[in-house]
Amino acid sequence: DAGVTQSPTHLIKTRGQQVTLRCSPKSGHDTVSWYQQALGQGPQFIFQYYEEEERQRGNFPDRFSGHQFPNYSSELNVNALLLGDSALYLCASSAWGDEQFFGPGTRLTVL
């Protein structure tokens, strides 16, 4: 049983560019949550998707957007990248309301 997978593993972008990160949940999971982890900090909640809808959003600007597909996989899009967007982006999947399991993350560097 494959766990949560994310792609790409690493990404380097320049300020002002746009990026798309992808996440495939564990088999049997229907909920995907995205988190941003800055260096030396705990992960911060970005948003959660269930039934292809954004269910809740953390304190992140509209430059951060997402999507969930019918197969429960998800994308995180970040527009107009800033230096401060450099972080590890983590995807977590769960059955609705249950324990969350995390993928290996995508490390984004903005130059």
Partner 1 sequence: GIQVEQSPPDLILQEGANSTLRCNFSDSVNNLQWFHQNPWGQLINLFYIPSGTKQNGRLSATTVATERYSLLYISSSQTTDSGVYFCAVKRWIQGAQKLVFGQGTRLTINP
Residue 88 sits in the site that holds partner 1 (CB under 8 A) = yes
* Rounded alpha-carbon distances, angstroms, from residue 80 to 15, 20, 42, 96, 103: 7, 12, 24, 32, 25
# chain residues binding partner 1, by CB under 8 A:
25
Of these, 5, 20, 44, 65, which contacts partner 1 (CB under 8 A)?
44
Residue 33 sits in the site that holds partner 1 (CB under 8 A) = yes
Which amino acid does the sequence have at 25?
Answer: P
Rounded CA-CA distance 27/78 in Å is: 26
Please report, as residue ranges, which positions from 48 to 77 form the binding site for partner 1 (by CB under 8 A): 48, 50, 55-56, 58
Of these, 7, 14, 17, 41, which contacts partner 1 (CB under 8 A)?
41
Which amino acid does the sequence have at 52?
Answer: E
Buried b (16+ CB within 10 A) or exposed e, 5-25: ebeeeeeebeeeeebebbbbb
Residue 55 or 63 with smaller CB distance to partner 1: 55
Which one of 11-19, 21-29, 69-77, 93-101 is the stretch in contact with partner 1 (CB under 8 A)? 93-101
